[in-house]
Amino acid sequence: MKALMERLRSRRLTSVFIVLSTLTLAIVVGSFAAHGVRGSEDKQVSSSDATPLKITNSSVPPNEFVRIAKAAGPAVVNINTTTLPKQGAKRKQNPHGFITPKPQNPGDDEEDDQQGQQDGQGNFQDFFNRFFGGQNPNGGTGQEPDDHVRQALGSGFIVDPKGYIITNYHVIEKADKINVKLSTDADNDDDGTPAVVIGFDKATDIAVIKIETKNPLPIVKIGNSDNTNVGDWVEAIGSPFSLSQTVTAGIISAKNRTIEPGASGQFQHFIQTDAAINPGNSGGPLLNMNGEVIGMNTAIFTQSAGYEGIGFAMPSNTIVEIYNDLISPSHKVTRGSIGIQFREGLSSSVGRVYGFKNGVIISSVTPGGPAEKAGLKNGDVIVSIDGRNIKDGDDLVNDIASRRPGSSVRIGYMREGKAADAAVTIGDRDKIFADSDKAVVEKDHDEQVEPGETKLGIVVHELSAAASAKLKLSGVTIASVRSGSFADLQGLAPGLVIVRINRQPTATKAQYDAIVSKLKSGDDVVFEIVDPRNPAGGTNYIGGTLQ
């Protein structure tokens, strides 16, 4: 039996070899035959026995994608802009060759100062390319320097028959001329109808523009993005590479996706989709199977500057909220704030030391802001809003930002392990942080910035008497560390206690400031650090040369 099986296996392998050999031979014979045909051009070949082809006159029943494209397509527009050259402007590129994405409004609301995470994901940011940004109308992804006339393309969708259109802010940002081409405009028409900007919101990258029209325009229906599910079918319509009315389909891949860490992305929580979207799709609608807009295509993640299956759309519920503010008499979005900054993603050790599991630890209080007026301080841990426990920084920001300036909120917090609360009057986020930025500039001008923050990149607070007695040590505790700073490079982290610098005690904040103020570039700096989680573990010595 074993011998029989070996013979069968041998025959099977031989058969395969023969087949391959036959194919090779056929190719060789065919090659000679071809040469023979080319050498006989004068010979007439008869095709009298060939049957002419006919088109089958049948129709495919339209599916849901066809219905949606026909219904929503007329309300999707092509937006082209012109930006005139700015004197002295130069193009900035990152080391990877991509144009650096325009930053979001930096200082905003209860700001998450998670700069470390943002810097740590620099490669992600390099490959995170917005669809707009000098898109050549003739195709391609090259961008003109700012000292040339720039033309760019994007998409948008009509939401009001009177000519109101929603798009991305980055589509019309800094544009000197904005023109809109309707689906009914011929391809060889001029640039289209001039548009004016009604309002925009940098934090969510949403803008509203308007064109004049004699007749009512077709509009899209707005759906409820909260009712969508991962796995739902969606359809995208837009003008990628100036190819207007391009329709693609996919599914919802994820929800509530934050792609820019820190303050830049605190109001941007996207729907992720694998529907094919490319440069030029920015501002176009993402529709559900009811033909309702549940998102606006805003960004892609790519390593090739083109579609790779990961796109992001701003949810329709956010769009509606922002749109209604932008068409109001003020034409701006007003968000509430209590004037604090915090850091998310802290290690569990910080929570254990400060005695909390869920909440937000304040790293900075805006001088003169609502929180400071209510008595909140750096190091306080906010745990509740109006009696409702908060989960994290996003929860805090969303709640406070939705409240109107002038209203009152009760903030529950922990200080030195003890529960307390305070009534805080909500302020205008833009005004609070504008005033704060102005104060920082003035402070820098007067050279009054804390030396530890400028030289070392850390903010410290003096240990309270209770904490000092409990830990049996004196020093200053690290409240925050700026990413990429000297302290960060040495491995310092929030929660650690500095007891001495260069063998000099830092029992008080005054002592610490006095030591640090004398440090200069080229000096050796050695920190003596105690971890409050394990004071019995002794002192750690961390140091380096100050650059």
In this structure, the answer to whether residues 348 and 319 fall within a common structural domain is: no
Question: Looking at the predicted structure, is the pLDDT value of residue 415 above 60?
Answer: yes
Q: Can you point out the beta strands (E) in 34-139?
A: 76-83, 111-112, 128-130
What is residue 375's predicted lDDT score, i.e. its pLDDT? 92
Identify whether 170 is a catalytic site residue: yes
Identify whether 364 is a catalytic site residue: no
Of these residues, 282, 364, 384, 480, which one is catalytic?
A: 282
Q: Cβ–Cβ contacts within 10 Å for residue 436, how many?
A: 19
In this structure, the answer to whether residues 453 and 313 fall within a common structural domain is: no
Residues 6+ apart with CB under 8 A from 1: none
Q: Which of 45-49, 156-160, 320-324, 461-465 has the lowest mean pLDDT?
A: 461-465
Q: Determine, yes or no, domain membership for 31.
A: no
Tokens describing residue 392: 């994290």
Domain C-terminal end among 409, 437, 465: 437
What is residue 117's predicted lDDT score, i.e. its pLDDT? 39
Question: Looking at the predicted structure, is the pLDDT value of residue 155 above 90?
Answer: yes
Tokens describing residue 461: 């607070």
pLDDT band at 43 (very low <50, low <70, confident <90, very high): confident
CATH of the domain at 142: 2.40.10.120
What is residue 254's predicted lDDT score, i.e. its pLDDT? 94
In this structure, the answer to whether residues 275 and 407 fall within a common structural domain is: no
CATH of the domain at 494: 2.30.42.10
Of these residues, 112, 113, 155, 170, which one is catalytic?
A: 170
Report pLDDT digits (tens) over 184-203: 887 665 778 999 999 999 98
Q: How far is residue 257's CA from residue 254's CA, in Å, rounded to a whole number?
A: 7
In this structure, the answer to whether residues 154 and 84 fall within a common structural domain is: yes
In this structure, the answer to whether residues 283 and 424 fall within a common structural domain is: no
In this structure, the answer to whether residues 426 and 502 fall within a common structural domain is: no
pLDDT band at 346 (very low <50, low <70, confident <90, very high): low
CB 267 within 8 A of CB 336: no
pLDDT band at 452 (very low <50, low <70, confident <90, very high): confident
Of these residues, 205, 274, 325, 488, which one is catalytic?
A: 205
Q: Determine, yes or no, domain membership for 124.
A: yes
Domain C-terminal end among 388, 416, 437: 437
In this structure, the answer to whether residues 301 and 384 fall within a common structural domain is: no
Report pLDDT digits (tens) over 213-272: 999 999 999 999 999 999 999 999 998 888 888 999 999 999 988 887 666 677 888 999
Name beta bridge partners: 544: 525
Question: Looking at the predicted structure, is the pLDDT value of residue 321 above 80?
Answer: yes
Mean pLDDT, the chain, integer = 78
Q: Determine, yes or no, domain membership for 49.
A: no
Phi, psi of 515 (to 5 degrees): -70, -50
pTM: 0.62
Q: Determine, yes or no, domain membership for 18.
A: no
Q: How far is residue 171's CA from residue 414's CA, in Å, rounded to a whole number?
A: 44
Pairing of β 340-342 and β 206-211: unpaired
In this structure, the answer to whether residues 358 and 303 fall within a common structural domain is: no
Identify whether 205 is a catalytic site residue: yes
Q: How far is residue 17's CA from residue 384's CA, in Å, rounded to a whole number?
A: 76
Question: Looking at the predicted structure, is the pLDDT value of residue 486 above 50?
Answer: yes
What is residue 231's predicted lDDT score, i.e. its pLDDT? 95
Q: Determine, yes or no, domain membership for 393.
A: yes
In this structure, the answer to whether residues 474 and 514 fall within a common structural domain is: yes
Range of the domain at 146: 71-326
Work out how many domains the chain is built from and give that number: 3
Alpha-carbon separation of residue 309 from 139, 250, 273 (angstroms): 20, 9, 8
Question: Looking at the predicted structure, is the pLDDT value of residue 160 above 90?
Answer: yes
Q: Determine, yes or no, domain membership for 444.
A: no
What is residue 426's predicted lDDT score, i.e. its pLDDT? 93
